[in-house]
Amino acid sequence: MQRRHFLLAATTIGAAGLALGNLPQAQTLATGASAGALPMNDGKHPRYRPRHRYGYGGAIALGNMRRAISNAQAQQLLSAAWEAGIRYYDTSPWYGLGLSERRTGYFLADAERAHYVLSSKSGRLLRADPGFSHKDWQNAVGFRYEYDYSAAATRRSVEDSLQRLGVSSLDLVFIHDLSPDNEDLGDGWREHFEVAVKGAMPELVKMREEGLIKGWGMGVNTLEPTLGAIEASDPDVILQACQYSLLQHADAVERLLPVCRQRDVSLVIGAPLNSGYLAGNDYFNYSKQIPAGMAEKRQRAQALAREHGTDLRTAALHFCNAPDVVAAIIPGGSTAEQIRQNVASMSTPVPAAFWQAAKQQELIHPDAPVPTQA
């Protein structure tokens, strides 16, 4: 199949329902800070890796996960990210049932496509349904979703995302939420996984060959589908969320990192702050149900960070960025100040003594990679 080209003006995004007003994003995109202050990949990896090692996750704020924000407020968040030097944006049809993609596409409409990295997801098709709403997304109505991991649906999903985003290609596509923790799928996830092995995965390989995408992988919160995809197919980059953080990483260190090294598969770390828990909020991995012992572990880590002249957010972000198999980390940020604080942490080294003490106190796995800077 020949590669399709989608030549869309910014007005296409506006027609999707964004009443944004006269926002100066064109000026922002022209005058924002250089991305050079944030970590970059060297381009020497044998497979595709996004060149930017730090991105912005578009689920919570842009998808109205915890609270509804206006389209103008969403544009202000994206402006803050761009001005801070962020050039990698991750989104999904699932986030706000298309809302996050439309908001991201509107913001990036005036940027040259080569100047940023963009990833989205497949696995859920959106269907127009004016009466539908979902508990996860505040004020996001008008579309229902259905799961389909077949080849045809994957092609349709990617093309729909291109339309919502207003671009002609994506850098990365992740097969989304094909995982046992997905309450919609439950134990049936394995049946869907077999569909994806025969459908979505070879179709994404084909899209990669066509140049419609640069790479693909899984976008999941557990390890089993990740390891299964690496065994069954040829992924480039896995978006692994909720499995590699300062507080929770032992299983990934022992089972995931070695396989990624062996197969030259890279990781994008989602929820590096456990969806804000390591920055001080009351959510852990998108839930207010905090696992037993986690509050005590966070308190110990906070005290150790203070003792060594740093803070827990800074240590957590550097920890997730340290492994050689990590291509990028993509924290979110529901306010401009949170975005700026996260970015500032990336240019603030964590003392080597902190990592030594953290291992001695068994706060982090003895084999977990840590930053090498003093």
Q: Looking at the annotation, which residues are catalytic?
A: 95
- For the chain, the maximum distance between any two Cα atoms, rounded to a whole number of angstroms, is 59
Contacts of 90 (CB under 8 A, 6+ apart): 55, 56, 57, 58, 118, 119, 120, 239, 268, 270, 330
Structure tokens at 160: 């729909």
Structure tokens at 334: 């529901």
| Ranges of H-type helices in the chain | 10-15, 25-31, 71-83, 99-108, 151-165, 189-198, 200-210, 224-232, 250-251, 257-263, 294-307, 312-321, 336-346, 352-360
Contacts of 93 (CB under 8 A, 6+ apart): 101, 120, 121, 122, 124, 125, 126, 145, 157, 160, 161, 164
Q: What residue type is assigned to position 157 of the chain? A: S
Calpha distance 108→104 (Å, rounded): 6
Q: Which residue has the tokens 């579309």?
A: 143
